[in-house]
Amino acid sequence: MMVGDGIFETVKAAHGEPFALTRHLRRLARSAAGLGLPEPDRDALAQGVREVLAGAPKWPLARVRITYTSGPGPLGSARGDEGPTASIIVGPQDPFPATADVTVVPWPRNERGALSGLKTTSYAENALALAYAHERGGGEAIFGNTVGNLCEGTGSNIFVLLGGRLVTPPLASGCLAGVTRALTLEWCGGEEEDVALDDLYRAEEAFLTSTTRDVQPIRAVGGTLLPTAPGPITAKAMEAFAARSAELTDP
């Protein structure tokens, strides 16, 4: 599989226990359908995740990577006929910094593209964007979309507080249907609404969500410092997410 014709999921594990595994495997199946791949055996993958974790050190925090591809193919863009492959690996995960500085990149997400909303292994665009952010002092890159609205990070979703309202871009913006994003909406509130990309610089508060960072306050957007990080709404979201995720390992 040399052309990025595959999908993946990253699952957080704490002391050997995976978090929200059912939701991740459900999204993996949706991504497979979106690419026209055979439906993955979710029960077998869940068992594989638990076996891999059982054989690994009980790290305080780890990331499990499930990769599912179209399988071996010819030298070209066509798919082969040997069937899909699946692999599961695990490694330790360092905690993210207490706050994030983000950089808006000049390349838009195509909310109408064939891969929009799918978690595929075609990650060169993300790698380029993250390198662009790192060169400018950012820890995460933020994409707008083709109509100038806020979309997502390379490996995160984004929430902003504007006029006292907590909002996050809708899935129609082209962003990934993040597992942590969905849980944040359920547990912490907020609304899905289009946000102009420029409004990110004027946010009263903002934070990133992702599997391995949970809820991470944004300190600065480019050279623009936000008023506070974490602000009171972000702090409440962080507390609520931590409490609920400690109670429920597979919400």
Q: Domain 100-247: give its CATH code.
A: 3.20.10.10
Strand bridging mode 224-225 / 85-92: unpaired
For 81-129, list the strands marked E by DSSP.
85-92, 100-104
Domain boundaries along the sequence of the chain: 6-92, 100-247
Q: What is the pLDDT of residue 247?
A: 95
Angle between helices 42-54 and 21-35 (to 10 degrees): 130
Q: What is the pLDDT of residue 23?
A: 98
User: Cα 136 vs. chain centroid, distance in angstroms?
Assistant: 22
Determine the topology of domain 6-92 in CATH. Answer: D-amino Acid Aminotransferase; Chain A, domain 1 (3.30.470)
CA atoms within 13 A on the CB side of 223: 0
Q: What is the pLDDT of residue 162?
A: 98
Q: Which two tokens stand for residue 251?
A: 């919400």
CB 51 within 8 A of CB 59: no
Q: How many residues does the chain have?
A: 251
With pLDDT > 90 as the criterion, what percentage of the chain qualifies?
93
CB 240 within 8 A of CB 207: no
CB 40 within 8 A of CB 31: no
Q: Quote the CA–CA distance of 214 and 186 in Å, as a whole number.
A: 14
CA distances to 22, 58, 155, 180, 211 from 65, rounded to whole Å, are 14, 16, 13, 16, 11
Q: What's this model's pTM, rounded to 2 decimal places? A: 0.95
Residue 196, strand partner residues: 149
Q: What is the pLDDT of residue 229?
A: 97
Considering the chain, what is the average pLDDT of its residues?
96
Burial annotation 147-163 (CB, 10 A radius, 16+ → b, else e): eebbbbbbbbbbbbbbe
CB 160 within 8 A of CB 195: yes
- Over residues 100-151, the pLDDT tens digits come to 999 999 999 999 999 999 999 999 999 999 999 999 999 999 999 999 999 9
- Over residues 48-98, the pLDDT tens digits come to 999 999 999 999 999 999 999 998 887 878 888 888 999 999 999 999 999
Q: Quote the CA–CA distance of 139 and 170 in Å, as a whole number.
A: 23
